[in-house]
């Protein structure tokens, strides 16, 4: 559905030239939900603007639905709808209904067709009672829902979302993630999501592209990346405070261990790469006469995976 080949982009000023994208290549199949990850300044937004035909690449080729994306030629864009970061997709002085009518009207959709499709969507996502409310009076989460509904109603095959949960409070964040999950389940769309929200990416995406310094550094399924970093981390809580000798013996056992003081006492944290290491740790406790009160397993999360990749620790990751 989307093919990007050898795309490069730089910005020039009187003093210097800044390279933003370096030889970017990837493809996204029809129906895939793909996450685009990267730190601030990595090139995500520039890439999205190129895919939306808002700016031109300096070099490379892009095609959407086998149609080349050439800046003066708008044919490929008819397959794409987008929700850009920062509430750029709505007019705040129009109502919810008026926003939908305006933006779909630009794309040639008539009012009768809009109303037929809009009202069931508003009911489904708890916005029906707000249809005549000015968008500026809605919560940030509701505004984001309206922007996504506008993009959905364009009924394009490709949906591009740029930071759909940025700036939302906890409750709104949960609502938007549930909202997008419903879309992924019920709509057979090709979706590219740029986000810093790792929980969103892990829940929605089957695959991720990680961009760093303008280059794709990883293009893998979420499951593969999680397995790549699947080390085991444990937290041991003790019945009594540790002596200096006990602390030193524990922390010298592994470079990937630490002792942390908490309200409930001292915790020994350690990351193990082999299952048999666990029994060796327990044997050390026995030799040092340390009584263990509880053991907790630290779960790997996608945020840690991302940070390890960006830091260049893909081969021997310690979470």
d(CA 284, CA 40): 44
Which residues in 132-154 are b (16+ Cβ under 10 Å) and which e? Answer: eeebeebebbbbbbbbbbbbbbb
The per-residue pLDDT for 205 is: 92
The per-residue pLDDT for 301 is: 66
What residues are paired with 81 via a beta bridge? 159
Higher pLDDT, 171 or 161: 161
pLDDT, tens digit, 9 for 90 and up, residues 121-143:
898 888 899 999 999 999 888 89
The per-residue pLDDT for 4 is: 95
The per-residue pLDDT for 14 is: 78
Query: Does the pLDDT value for residue 86 go beyond 80?
Result: no
With bands split at pLDDT 50, 70 and 90, how would you rate the model's confidence at 319? very low
Query: Does the pLDDT value for residue 313 go beyond 60?
Result: no
Order across the sheet with 2-12: list the strands.
17-28, 2-12, 59-64, 67-68
Segments making up each domain of the chain, as ranges: 2-9+23-221, 231-299
pLDDT, mean of residues 39-57: 89
With bands split at pLDDT 50, 70 and 90, how would you rate the model's confidence at 35? very high
The per-residue pLDDT for 247 is: 87
pLDDT, mean of residues 164-173: 82
The per-residue pLDDT for 174 is: 85
Between the CA atoms of 138, 117, 129 and 101, what dihedral angle is there, to the nearest 10 degrees?
50
Higher pLDDT, 113 or 275: 113
pLDDT, mean of residues 61-90: 81
pLDDT, tens digit, 9 for 90 and up, residues 180-234:
888 888 878 899 999 888 888 888 899 999 998 899 999 989 888 877 666 677 8
With bands split at pLDDT 50, 70 and 90, how would you rate the model's confidence at 20? very high
With bands split at pLDDT 50, 70 and 90, how would you rate the model's confidence at 101? very high
Nearest Cα to 163, choosing from 257, 19, 36, 61?
36
Joined tokens for residue 314 = 């893909």
pLDDT over 90, % of the chain: 28
The per-residue pLDDT for 50 is: 92
Contact 79, 157 (CB under 8 A): yes
With bands split at pLDDT 50, 70 and 90, how would you rate the model's confidence at 99? very high
Provide CATH code, domain 2-9+23-221.
3.40.50.300
d(CA 158, CA 33): 10
This prediction's pTM: 0.75
Contact 58, 6 (CB under 8 A): no
Nearest Cα to 304, choosing from 238, 230, 214, 221?
230
231-299 fold:
Alpha-Beta Plaits (3.30.70)
Query: Does the pLDDT value for residue 300 go beyond 90?
Result: no
With bands split at pLDDT 50, 70 and 90, how would you rate the model's confidence at 315? very low
Contact 76, 158 (CB under 8 A): no
Residue 142, classed as helix, strand or coil, is: helix
Lowest mean pLDDT among 24-28, 62-66, 185-189: 185-189
pLDDT averaged over every residue in the chain: 85
Query: Does the pLDDT value for residue 314 go beyond 50?
Result: no
Classify strands 215-221 and 207-212 as parallel, antiparallel or unpaired: antiparallel
Query: Does the pLDDT value for residue 249 go beyond 70?
Result: yes
Lowest mean pLDDT among 67-71, 271-275, 298-302, 311-315: 311-315
């Amino acid at each position: 559905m989307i093919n990007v080949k050898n795309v490069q982009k730089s910005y020039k000023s009187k003093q210097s030239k800044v390279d933003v994208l370096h030889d970017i290549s990837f493809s996204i199949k029809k129906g895939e939900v793909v996450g685009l990850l990267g730190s601030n300044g990595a090139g995500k937004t520039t890439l999205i603007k190129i895919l939306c035909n808002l700016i031109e690449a300096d070099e490379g080729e892009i095609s959407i639905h086998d149609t080349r994306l050439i800046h003066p030629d708008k044919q490929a864009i008819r397959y794409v709808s987008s929700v850009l970061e920062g509430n750029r997709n709505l007019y705040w002085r129009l109502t919810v209904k008026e926003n939908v009518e305006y933006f779909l009207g630009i794309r040639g959709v008539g009012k009768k067709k809009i109303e037929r499709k809009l009202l069931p969507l508003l009911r489904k996502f708890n916005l029906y009672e707000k249809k005549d409310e000015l968008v500026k009076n809605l919560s940030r989460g509701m505004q984001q829902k309206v922007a996504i509904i506008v993009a959905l109603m364009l009924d394009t095959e490709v949906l591009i979302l740029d930071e759909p949960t940025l700036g939302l409070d906890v409750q709104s964040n949960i609502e938007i993630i549930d909202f997008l999950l419903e879309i992924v389940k019920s709509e057979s769309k090709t979706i590219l999501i740029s986000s810093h929200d790792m929980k969103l990416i892990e829940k929605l995406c089957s695959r991720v592209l990680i961009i760093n310094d303008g280059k794709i550094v990883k293009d893998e399924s979420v499951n593969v990346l999680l397995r790549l970093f699947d080390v085991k981390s444990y937290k041991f809580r003790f019945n009594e405070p540790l002596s200096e000798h006990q602390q030193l013996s524990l922390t010298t056992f592994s470079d990937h261990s630490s002792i942390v003081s908490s309200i409930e006492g001292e915790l020994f944290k350690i990351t193990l790469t082999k299952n048999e290491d666990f029994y060796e740790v327990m044997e050390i406790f026995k030799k040092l006469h340390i009584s263990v009160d509880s053991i907790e397993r630290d779960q790997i999360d996608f945020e840690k995976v991302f940070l390890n990749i960006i830091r260049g620790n893909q081969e021997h990751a310690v979470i």
